[in-house]
Amino acid sequence: MAERDAAGAGGIEAERGSDSPDSDSDSENGGTSGESEMDFLRNLLSRTLGLGSEKPEKVLDELTLDGVSRFMQSEKCRNVVCLVGAGISTSAGIPDFRSPGTGLYANLQSYNLPYPEAIFEINYFKQHPEPFFALARELYPGQFKPTVCHYFIRLLKEKGLLLRCYTQNIDTLERVAGLDQEDLVEAHGTFFTSHCLRSSCRKQYTLDWMKEKIFSTVTPKCDKCQSLVKPDIVFFGESLPRRFFTLMQSDFQKVDLLIIMGTSLQVQPFASLVSRVPTNTPRLLINKEKTGQSDPFMSLMGLSTGMDFDSEKAYRDVAWLGECDEGCTALAELLGWKKELEELVKKEHSAIDAKSGQAGEAGASPSPPRAGATASPSTPPAKPGSSTQKESDAGSKAE
């Protein structure tokens, strides 16, 4: 569902991994991660200060959506990486967290929480899991349909252009739209699987198993050891999946185009991914507002690492402002894919409606068309005062 918001996390991000049930000490992996981080920092410093390198090559003929579309149709563009957040799912009817009056946090009074964010804190969940599962049951509708944006990413895959889609969302709509696990890095986890929280057990459970428990009055317990079972979404106090840290080391060495959609780019370490691409890699932002831009103070010091859309030095970053679905449709039209995209959306939505109708006729609650579909609450937005999670720490934890 919604991506993790940028408001901060009250220091919980810094604690991530310290009490995670699947945390372990992997010194070998940690060392490798540390070396990779040092290389990244050296390269980043060298690029921002212009040390030992020539001026980056300008690969777009103009800094517009048209320029991006022409680049995508050239031989230079073979590997596209997408970074996506809450904005690609809002048109599917998935609620956000902080909208006054309608956001999730504004409607949690009935759960008697010490503070709204507690419902997504791992330590609180271990002691009081009932509010989370009650909320999941309340928000779990019969179905959700992927958006135009989701199906545009699928088209990138079908055209042989998609290297990877990194998502902050846990609604699994990318899977529903037709992306496979290999196509995805679900940075903040997923409802697709669940695990027993006992470190000596860690038995895995399916989406269907968890869905059945969510709609019952029984708190999900492991049938092997009777410990609590939790969906594999990343709560405050847990580490990010190892897959995130492993694949970013290789993916961002060979990406030819980075497309960022529907994300604030303020939650770390996800936000740092925009700075990992080569200096001549174009970056397209499709969002309601510009984000991920350089800090003015850092820019004055010559240490700009964010995106640059407007300055005289801008050479690779393009911003298309508006709804993500509209931006993807506009890009698809420039690529000559608009009709194909519209037909794909129509076909897939019809299939979802048909399956939902069959489930209703059978007297069962409608279920998603693929095993990965769900609409339970997302990994929550961070709380004020958050400190950045250290990638090398979280990267050494087991999934």
Q: Judge whether 4 lies within some domain.
A: no
Q: What is the dihedral of CA 353, 288, 71, 265, to 10 degrees?
A: -100
pLDDT in tens, 92-127: 887 655 556 655 665 677 788 898 889 889 999 999
pLDDT on residue 41 = 65
Residue 258 structure tokens? 């980075």
Q: How many Cβ atoms sit within 10 Å of the Cβ of residue 223? A: 11
CATH number at residue 329: 3.40.50.1220
Q: Is 188 assigned a catalytic role?
A: yes
pLDDT on residue 12 = 30
Q: How many Cβ atoms sit within 10 Å of the Cβ of residue 293? A: 18
Q: Strand pairing partners for 318? A: 284
In one letter, which amino acid is 240?
Answer: L
Q: How far apart are CA 188 and CA 275, in angstroms?
A: 19
Q: What is the dihedral of CA 9, 14, 18, 22, to 10 degrees?
A: 70
Instruction: Note whether 15 and 389 are within 8 A (CB).
Output: no
In one letter, which amino acid is 250?
Answer: S
pLDDT on residue 144 = 80
b/e per residue, 356-390, with b = 16+ CB within 10 A? beebeeeeeebbbbbebbbbbbbbbbbbeebeebb
Q: How far apart are CA 220 and CA 218, in angstroms?
A: 6
CA angle 390/395/397 to nearest 5° reads 115
Q: Would the annotation count 324 as a binding residue?
A: no
Q: Would the annotation count 82 as a binding residue?
A: no
Q: Judge whether 297 lies within some domain.
A: yes
pLDDT on residue 18 = 36
Q: Judge whether 87 lies within some domain.
A: yes
pLDDT along the chain (399 residues), means of 10: 39 35 39 57 58 70 98 98 94 69 64 86 93 79 82 99 96 92 94 93 93 88 96 89 95 98 90 93 96 64 71 94 98 98 97 77 45 38 39 34
Q: How many domains does one find in the chain? A: 1
Q: Judge whether 24 lies within some domain.
A: yes
pLDDT on residue 339 = 98
User: Which of 275, 25, 383 has the alpha carbon at shortest distance from 33?
Assistant: 25
Sheet with 184-186, strands from edge to edge, namely: 184-186, 162-167, 80-84, 257-261, 283-287, 317-321
pLDDT on residue 366 = 41
Domain ranges, residue 232: 12-394
Residue 160 neighbours by CB under 8 Å, 6+ apart = none
Q: Which one from 150, 188, 195, 349 is the annotated catalytic residue?
A: 188
User: Which of 240, 283, 175 has the alpha carbon at shortest distance from 17?
Assistant: 240
pLDDT on residue 99 = 57
Q: Judge whether 366 lies within some domain.
A: yes
pLDDT on residue 30 = 42
Residue 362 structure tokens? 């059978």
Q: Judge whether 244 lies within some domain.
A: yes
pLDDT on residue 110 = 74
Q: Judge whether 190 lies within some domain.
A: yes
The CA-based diameter of the chain, rounded to the nearest angstrom, is: 68
Q: Using only C-alpha atoms, what is the Rg of the chain?
A: 21
* Beta strands 189-196 and 229-233, pairing class: antiparallel
Q: How far apart are CA 195 and CA 364, in angstroms?
A: 26
User: Which of 338, 314, 320 has the alpha carbon at shortest distance from 60?
Assistant: 314
Ordered DSSP codes for 132-143: HHHHHHHH--S-
3-state per-residue secondary structure call for 233-258: ECCECCCCCHHHHHHHHHHHHHCCEE
Q: Judge whether 399 lies within some domain.
A: no
Q: How many Cβ atoms sit within 10 Å of the Cβ of residue 132? A: 24
